Structures are given as structure tokens and as C-alpha cells.
Structure 1
């Protein structure tokens, strides 16, 4: 392979834009005077280069522009707001803390419920989604000494956050997005996991249960589990047997772990929620386990984050790196050299986003500056495998996906190490903690670990596979979303218009369209054209299992 990516990246085969793609581009991403994606790319490249040294800005603007044209996009907020005059964040999502008090700060320094609500409203007003862990809030029926009353529990306050999200209009007319998390040992967990069985409840929330290793051990051993909290129960709970454990936590209820798990699984089966967060695994794997604790994720779940942490995301369109798609004009292959160059440039671009963006809250800025998390990712994996004549639901397809993810990991970490040599490592960097046994970084190739010890690294985390709905529609001809297989080759899709009405569109899959464009018979598709509707849940899990070892945050 040639080293110069400008000589190896094949230009995408041009096709007439789908109506839905043109409409999404116009409604969400084109700003005053812009007429097409090239104008968006120029605006974004100019903005991201603006924090480079003045004598190098033109050079980096060209570099970023070429990379955008090659398929290295910013996430939706970047593509929409970078280079504009509105005070909107370029960060898609955040995690924000919620304490066990109404106002002020609780004993652990967490903001009270209504201070957290204010912070969330300001974040959503500026265009960011928010994830929260509500587990600190005392359960329904707990004692409230200050007012000699009984607590209403976290679920009642989630109702308030849900209503606030409905009311706040985000910058750029983006609908608010939220994630609510509750620990599996919280006394109100049963109310939490069944809440969405009520139609219309928490429409502005995804919800997930934070599952501990101790619970999973109890489940496997067919044992009971305690539902606990630090807050003292009210008289009725104490009369019913609530008591203090040796660790000082109040046990509100004890029940079979299997019974609780079955309730969660039934809700997930019937209503597609709650999701599951394996909390101890997340924290053990965390490169920053030495200086932070994670209790929640962003709304879509691709980044577990500490309080005030952010998602600075940038997917790369994988289909752009397939040469001779479908083997029609030669042997289909993936241009790894060009892809690695694109990843390296993407690391710098996303690092610059942290310095360019408007921050809704000073705590968010401080957190980002201390750790400089970013999330290079990809979209179009399902289409890419088809273009390489590989079935998504086979060992060969999973192996190719893993190879792509591994190259992305190594290119991203190498680029961040080089950036640390130029601009400095992130301030919280400590080599021993970062590379400690159990962290993601401790499983990097030895040569990368040695470079990190020697030079440091610019970004604490580098990789994240997010959903890419509107970005894929607007800029990738409806390439398959993120890591997912294609949903369907042709379908009808409803889209909410700016005026609140609904329009219906005919939508075609990018790989299907390209195969047809190249002369393929779409009435008799090859075996490697496999959609999400054609495969088992196990096949989806197998793909996640293949790729996740190379991703330092998560896959959504």
C-alpha cells in the first residue's frame, strides 16, 4: 500500500442524493448562505483550525477539510454549530451529577436536585444531551429530617427532569436527550425498571440499570440481594424489618436476585428498556480509574463518563475506504493505510474541538481540559462488510470488523502520543495509574505502552462507536448506522419536520444503491447482503464481542 493517503483514498462513486438526505442536510446542517456539504466542510475545517498557531492555520484548515471530504466527520453538534455565531456547544452529550438534597450540595459535594436541574436545562439549551445517575437520591419512604417528612424517591424527580427536557428548546432546534441510571441495589429499582410500562412516562429518557459484580455473583449463585441506601428509612420500613448493615448502609428490602433480574429482563423484552451497565467492569477498564469514578453514561451509552464529562465524537465513514466494492472492478479490499491517516487527523481535529467549543457550564470545561477525552469512531460497518463481499453475521465478517477497529485503535493512540509531544499530555496524566493492570491502556501493544511512558498522551480516551443517524443520512448517503448492519435495503421512514408536522420518505440503503449503480442485480442480491432483519441476536452480540476489545469506551 502507498503511504500517501491522497494517492490511495478512492473518491466515492457519485450518486444523486436521496430526498431525505438533502432535506436533513438542509434542515440540520446548512447555515446562512451554505448550499451544500462542501460549504459545511469548509466552515467546520476553518473553525477547528482556528486554535492552531496563526502561521499554521491555513495548513491545518486544508488538512481538516481534506479529511472531512474523505469521510472523517464531526458528530452532529460539530457539523451543525462549528464556525457559527450561536453560543451552542460542539459537544453532543454530557454526564452531570445529582445529589441527595433539594438545593445546595449534599454531604458528598453533589449538587442538589434543583441545582442539577438548572445545570441540565442550561446544557440542553446549548445543544447538549445529558446523562445522570439518580442513585444518590434517597428512596421513596426514607426519612427527611429537615422537614420531618417522607421522601418521594428518585422516580418522582425523574418526572421533573423529563418535563424540563420537553420544555427546553436546544440551540439549533435539537430535541433534548437524556439518560437516567439507577443502581440495581437502590431500594426503588423495581419502580425504576418498570416505569416505562406506563405509556408516555419518561419519553425524553433512555434508562439503564447499573449492575454490580456482587449482584451478578448473587444471581449466578441463586442467592438473595439487598436493596440499600445510606438514608435512614421511615418508621414504616423500620417496622417492616429495615436494618443497618455492617457497612453502615440501610437495608430496605431483601429479595431473590433472580426475581429482580427476571423483572428487568421482562421489561427489556417488552419495552426495549432498561439497558444494562456493568458498573464495576466499566470502572476497572477505565484508563482513569486512578482519578475518577464513573456511575452513568451519555444518553446513547457509547461513553461512560464521570461527573461533567463530555462526548466529543467524530465518526469516520468506513465505506470510503473500500476499493473495488463488491469485487466488480477488481478484488475488493480495505485501504488500511489511508484509514490510519484519516484517524490520525481526526484525533487532532477532535482535540481542537475541546478548545473551540462553547461550554454550557464551567465545570464541564474544567473536566474536559483536565482529561481531554475524545471519541474517534466509525459508521457504515454493515455496508463496508457487504462491499468487501463479507457477511456481517459470519466469523469472517467479525474478523474484518475487529481488524478495522484494531487499526483504528493503534492509529488513534499513536496520534495522541505524537500530539502530547507537540502540545503536552492531558494534565491528569500519570503513567503508572494509566497503564495499571486492568485498564484498557494496559492491554495496548507493548510498543504503544512504552511510548506512553516516555512521552505521555494527549487524550485520556480516544475511541467511541456511537449511533450516527442524521450524520449518516446527510453526509454518507444513508450508510448503515455505526457498527450496525443495514436495517433494510428499501423502506419508508417518517421524519418530524421543523413545523412539527410529519413527512414520509422513501429511503434506500447506501450499499444497495451503490451495488445497483455499479450494475448489480438488486433483485438477486448476493449472499453477503444481510440485513438486521435476517440475523439473530447472537450475531449482533458476536460483532460487539469482536470489536469492543479495541474500543476504550463503549459501543452503542
Structure 2
């Protein structure tokens, strides 16, 4: 297992996605050159007399895939390419006018051209059939414009840019929410989008009570105030807006429609947006209505965040033995160094738009997380979802979170706090107020460099690069399977892969040795184990978690819907469940090549 690119798919991904080439000539001869390039580029943000020392430390962290920075960092840092090093963006508010819509479309294209994945909230666009009084035209509705974005994304992709990734959100009380929910029933529609419904606490209460739910939209300035009017906080507006009720529906019927669409075609997902905003560290100056393409980074308009994941398999000593252990102190040290490294990305990166640079640098969000969790648990002899595995995961994420926050307070002392810090309000934030006393004391004394520090991304592509370690917090899909990735020419190519822990066990114990009980796949786990793991980790994640609960095709519809209710009751910020179905197929296969990936909506769906 000493070869850093031991699997063919790992080498192919490095060569086609992350190896630096200039005018067709390879500048990175080896993966070590890629690590060295990234380390030097990010160390350049340090004081000149310390840059070499930090470059050496960053290189040590990157070496052997101990730390996996987001794909944009690995591909772009230290190159002459004018690209962004940020994976995650949310576009500015879409103004409800032709000029405003197409201005945001242009800005979206520029962001994606530089490599950013984007989120957009389409709740601000008037519903289909509503009359625009000033021009006398009838609105075509948000869905019609989403198709234009989808075409744009495909066009950007055809120019050779990285795979396009977009998230579209819509409020659960928008008059076109039913059309949004059913949009992916057409297997050819909106293939470059992930879709998520913004579900409020009030809506969940209405579902529980089986009451009526109003579908409404803010009154235009020149609109007559006829009919039922309700005041609501509306996306893109700071103060409550007077909204006209278009009609009322049964909340449970709308919820069941959402569940049925997710059951039949794996989308939309659900974002519990009230919880997202209540637990936002910047609750005092932001209102969030969208996320990055995979949902782990909720962001305000024009917001951005960079990502990185600690590879937990590299912290397991004496795997598959009774003496197996996790180096928690080493993990804490690595998290501290990774936080500093990600903070330096703000100085090293270009931004597609000036307003993105201003918004990002005002908060300096980081998304430090994990990958290889399931493999690490297997190597430790812990069955995924067991009480012992949950306790282990809880301690892992607590160590990472606290190390990152402590580093951020030291960076504030050294380099300054993030500009939007309002100390008393920040310390009152739901997440911050539960941090250890020494961290809160240091925040009060020194401030803090980054508004947010932790997130768990899907890490599909970078986990494949690192020898096919299990992705993010996901359980292992299968020990051997076919993985389909896009080649540089845009065509899908299928590769036979082995899970990292499985390959290591076979290398140590031979092909005929029976697998220990900790070797469990996603198909062998009850869905509740997935949600229990997500809930444990969420306690130490100030952004959010990208998690897909894989369930068998035969799962009963009522049991499927109960998963989303269970996720809400567990306090999660969102939920996505994937059931193989005729629309999407089965993304991975243990015995046969998978279908070509579904635009951005595959297991490698993160901004790579």
C-alpha cells in the first residue's frame, strides 16, 4: 500500500483533474510535486521569513493524503491559471426582473467558468401566471429560468471546464413549489441541478397538525392589495413582507408529494431552513436561503467557503488487531494545521466576482471536515452505527472542531479577526455558546479569525484519489464496485475499484481470510444508523453535513417518508435519501458498470 496512487482510478483522477499542466506540458511530475506546489502556494500567505517553514509543515500534512484540501485548491493553488480555489458559492439575490435574472445568470456563468460550484434560491421569482403590472406581461415562473441555467451549465461544461455543479432551492410556501418538487420526474430535465426544498418549522408544525398551508408571494409595489394578505419573512428581504395568498393546500398532502418525488426520483432533498438560520454563528447579520451544490455549506447571498477533509484512515494504528487505536492527539494537531492552511486560501485565491471576494473575506468561513470515517471504524473493529462507533465519531469530530476553533482564536491574535465579528452577538450564537469555556474565553479576549470552521463534504472525487477511502461520513457502498468518472474529453469511463480498508485487509491477511464483523456495507445497515451517525457529528459541525442515506429499492414508501421526519426530530439541518429508481438508476454497481453520472447529482457530485 506504499504507492500513493495504487489504484488505476486514483492515478487517472490525478492526471486529469489535479495534475498541473501549462500549455499542455506537465509541470507536476508526481503527486508529491502537486503536494509541494499547494504547500508553497498557501505558505506564501505567511510572513516571508517563515514561509519555508510553513511550506514544509503543510507538505507534511498533505503527504500520503493525510489531509485532502478541496479539489479547487489541489488543482489551482500555485498554478498560473486564473481560477478560484473555492469550491462553494451562493449567488446573490435574483432580482425579479428580466435584467436582474440575466445579470445573475451572467455572474453564475463567470463563477462556474473559474471552477466554483453555485447555489441559487429561486424563491424570489414571481410564480407562473402572475401578471407584471408595469409591462403587462405574464410571468413564466422560476422553473422556466432554471432551464436556462441548466443549459448554461452544460455549455460551460462543453468548453472543457470542470463538471458543473448547481443547487437550486425554493421556499415551501412559494406558489410554484409543487412544480419545483416534480421537476426531476423528467429524466432529461435539469440534470446539472441538485434541488432542495426550504422547509420551515411552521410548515413542519402544519404537517404535524394536518392543517392548511398558504402558498403566497410578496406583493409588488404597484399591486392592488385584494385577497388574503399575510406578512412573512421572505428570501432576500430583511423585514417581513406583505404577501398575497394564491391558494391553500393541505400541508400533509404537500409533504407527501415531496416524499413521493424523492422516493421516485431521489430529489428534491430537504433543508430545514429555520434550524439552519437559528444555528448560524452569524445569526445577527445574515439570513440564509441557499447552500452550495451538496448542502454542507449554507451561505448568504454572494457567500463563499473553501473545504478540506482529514483522512481518518491515516490516524489508525495497528489496524484490524485487538490493539487497534486512533491517534486523537495527532488528529488534533492535524486539524489545527489544516485550519491555518485553509485560512491562507483567502490570500491565495482569485474570486470570480468582486462582491464574492468582499463577502467571503468579511467572514472567512472554513469547512474543515473528515473523510474515510467508515474505513477508519472498520480498521478499529467498530461496526458503523453501533454505540461504540457513535462514541468514537463524536470524539473525532469534537477534537477536530475544538482544535480548529482554538487555532482560529490564535490566528485572530496574530492576524486579526474576521471583519463581521460582533463579539457579544457571536458569543451568543447557539453553536458558539456550547463550545468549551477556554475557547469562549479566548474568543472574548482575542476575537476569532473565521466565522465558521467545520463542515462534512461528500468528498467523492478526492477520496477516490486517496485510494478509494470511504467518502465523507458515508458507510462503504461495497468492497468492490465499478465507479464511473468523466474523462478529460467529457466521456464517462468505468473503473473497477476496491474499498481502501478492504484492500488493506486483503494485503495484510490474504484473499481467503474471513472478513471481521466490522466489515459492513451501506446495504446491510438500517437507515436509522445513517441518521444517528449524522446527528452525532452535527453536534460539532457549525456549517452543515452532506449526507445521502442509501436505501434499498424495495423500501416501503411510508418507511421512506418516516426517515425525513426522523431527521427533523433528531435536529438535523437537512436530509437526502437515495433509493434506486427508473429515473436515476443506481449510481454504483458491485457487478456491472454504472450508468453515466447524472450531471452534478452523482456520488462524485461535489465541486471537484
Smaller-chain TM-score bracket: over 0.9
- Kept in 2: contact 1:98–1:113 (CA 8 A): no
Matching of residues 153-552 of structure 1 within 5 Å: 153-169=141-157, 173-231=161-219, 243-245=228-230, 248-327=242-321, 331-436=323-428, 439-474=430-465, 476-519=466-509, 524-552=514-542
CA deviations on 1:143-174 (whole Å, 9 max, x unpaired) are 20121121111111111111111111499730
Looking at structure 2, the residues matched to 245 and 24 of structure 1 have their Cα atoms a distance apart, in angstroms, of: 52
The SS at the match of 1:550 is coil
Q: Distance in 2 between matches of 1:50 and 1:528?
A: 43
- Write out per-residue CA displacement over residues 94-143 of structure 1, whole angstroms, 9 at most, x where no aligned residue: 00123343355xxxxxxx11110010000000000100111011111112
In terms of mean alpha carbon deviation, does 166-175 or 300-309 score higher? 166-175
Partner of 1:3: none
| Residues 267 and 274, structure 1, Cα contact 8 Å, conserved in 2 | yes
Alpha-carbon distance, 1:231 to partner: 3.6
Paired residue secondary structure (1:517): helix
What is the CA distance between 1:370 and its match in structure 2? 0.7
Larger relative contact order, structure 1 or 2 (CA cutoff 8 Å, min sep 6)? 2
Q: Contact 2:61/2:67 (CA < 8 Å) preserved in 1?
A: yes
- Structure 2 CA distance for aligned equivalents of residues 500 and 344 of structure 1: 38
Q: Is the 8 A contact 1:467 1:482 kept in 2?
A: yes
Q: Secondary structure at the match of 1:479?
A: coil
The offset of 1:28, in angstroms, is 0.8
The whole-number CA distance in structure 1 between the counterparts of 2:313 and 2:97 is 50
Once the two structures are overlaid, the 10-residue window that deviates more, 447-456 or 346-355, is 447-456
Native 8 Å contact 2:156 2:164 kept in 1: yes
Cα pair 1:293 1:306 within 8 Å, conserved? yes
Q: Deviations over 1:437-479 (max 9, x none)?
A: x5211111122111111111000000010011111111x2100
Shift of 1:506: 1.0
Cα distance change of structure 1 residues 230 and 57 upon mapping to structure 2, 3 Å threshold: same
Cα 1:289–1:170 shift into 2, 3 Å? farther
Query: Cα RMSD between the aligned structures?
Result: 2.0
| Partner Cα distance (2:264, 2:292) in 1 | 23
Superposed CA offset, 1:289-339 (max 9, x none): 011110000000011000111120011111000000111xx6000001111
Structure 2 residue 79 is matched with structure 1 residue 118: no
Q: Aligned ranges for residues 70-89 of structure 1 at < 5 Å? A: 71-89=66-84
Tell me the SS of whatever aligns to 1:186: coil
Q: Distance in 2 between matches of 1:410 and 1:171?
A: 42
Partner-residue secondary structure (3-state), 1:85: coil
Q: Which moved more, 1:31-40 or 1:121-130?
A: 31-40
Q: Give per-residue Cα distances to partners, 1:232-260, cap 9 Å, x unaligned.
A: 6999x99xx95323662100010110000
Q: Number of residue pairs matched?
A: 531
Q: Distance in 1 between matches of 2:431 and 2:512?
A: 43
Distance 1:160 1:233 in 2: 27
Structure 1 runs of 4+ with >4 Å offset: 12-16, 232-235, 520-523
For residues 449 and 516 of structure 2, what CA distance do their matches in structure 1 show? 44
Residue matched to 2:11: 22
Name 2:85's counterpart in structure 1.
90
Contact 1:304 1:553 in 2 (8 A): yes
The answer as to 2:97 corresponding to 1:102 is: yes
The normalised TM-score by structure 1 is 0.92
Extract unaligned runs of 5+ from structure 2. 21-25, 233-241, 547-608
Equivalent position SS for 2:484: strand
Give the CA deviation at 1:504.
2.3
State the 1:14 CA deviation.
Answer: 5.0
